[in-house]
Amino acid sequence: MRRLALVALFSITVIWGWTFVLVKEGMEIVGPFTFLAARFSLAFLLLALLFCRSLKRIKRQSLIYGAIVGIALFFGYLFQTWGLKYTTATKSGLITGLSVVIVPLISSGAVKKRVHISVWLGALLAVVGLSLLVLSKGAITTINIGDLFTLACAVFFALHIIFVDRFIRRVDYRQLLLIQVGVVALLSLIGALSLEGLPQRFSPVLIREVLVTGLAATALALYVLNRFQRYSSASYTAIILTMEPVFAGLFGFLFLGEILTIWQLFGGVLILVGIGVPQLVGGRAT
């Protein structure tokens, strides 16, 4: 089962890497709240149909845990989607990948456990890489607001991984999944109605992107994450997800023609090295 879990978790990194391109395109049509409301409402409806029996016996504990996980997930996706309005899909993928470094730091701090030296080394490399990534034409410039939003997204995604790892063995994973997706859909809908209003129409391009992100990148991917993370630690799951920025960069190049400068490319490599160092040097100790 552990091997199946690793394959399943790796597969969603490919899907999530592709969604950076789709969401980037979607942000040219509607606002972030509207896009997320459509994406997560569709995902919730599908999951509710698949797990309708679980809805009949939801426990109070599941509601509490699901709400906590859902709020972290909501802010993670909100900042990521918002950030993609102002930054490239490639940079967004690399900065989002910093959640891998953040997970063991927060986990260790929460339980007052000593952080392995490899984690600090990885964090240092990632910070240096991030600094280079926000360079423009080789000179230090004002950091793009989209990069800051995406950095906030990495923090909330790290919290999401930690919360799922903490709660997944205490309640039915199907209930935890349904509630967190429902929370994101509800909060996104409230934000859309309050700040953006309903769109006049959904273009064919937007419909395609909502279908792909809602069904594959949300319903399927979060099912895999919640279903199989119980067979892996939070830190190890985060390490597996390090391939997400690699695929984001690949798809950004293939579909959007995004090309990094030499300094930005070097920064991206440093981020990937920083992400991988804790696992390669410290192993499961992180």
Residue 112 has pLDDT above 50, yes or no: yes
- Whether 185 and 35 have beta carbons less than 8 Å apart is answered as no
* Mean pLDDT along residues 166-184: 90
Using pLDDT thresholds of 50, 70 and 90, give the confidence band for residue 215.
very high
**pLDDT, position 41:** 96
Q: What does the pLDDT average to over 214-235?
A: 78
pTM: 0.82
pLDDT of residue 238: 64
Residue 59 corresponds to which amino acid?
A: K
Nearest Cα neighbor of 242 from 276, 281, 268 is 276
Rounded CA separation 149/155 (Å): 10
Q: What is the mean pLDDT of residues 84-93?
A: 86
- Res 283: pLDDT: 53
Instruction: Please provide the average confidence, as pLDDT, over all residues in the chain.
Output: 82
| pLDDT score at 79 | 96
On the question of pLDDT at 111 being above 70, the answer is no
pLDDT confidence bin for 140, thresholds 50/70/90: very low
Q: Residue 138 pLDDT more than 50? A: no
Domain residue spans of the chain: 2-107+145-259
Return the pLDDT at 115. 66
- Is the predicted pLDDT of residue 194 greater than 90, yes or no? yes
Question: If you average pLDDT over residues 118-125, what whole number do you get?
Answer: 79
Q: How confident is residue 251, by pLDDT bands cut at 50, 70 and 90?
A: confident
Q: What does the alpha-carbon distance between residue 192 and residue 32 come to, in Å, rounded to a whole number?
A: 8
Residue 66 predicted with pLDDT over 80: yes
**DSSP assignment of 57-91, as one string?**
T--HHHHHHHHHHHHHHHHHHHHHHHHTTTS-HHH
Q: List, for residues 39-57, the tens digit of each pLDDT value.
A: 999 999 999 998 887 777 7
Is the predicted pLDDT of residue 255 greater than 50, yes or no? Answer: yes
Residue-level pLDDT at 139:
43
Kindly state the average pLDDT of the residues 97-126: 75
CA distances from 29 to 60, 84, 141 (A): 39, 13, 28
**Nearest alpha-carbon partner for 72 in 38, 106, 27:** 106
What pLDDT is attached to residue 110? 66
Per-residue pLDDT, averaged over 219-239, amounts to 73
Q: What is the rounded CA–CA span in Å between residue 1 and residue 6?
A: 9
pLDDT at residue number 286: 43
Give the pLDDT band of residue 285 (cuts 50, 70, 90): very low
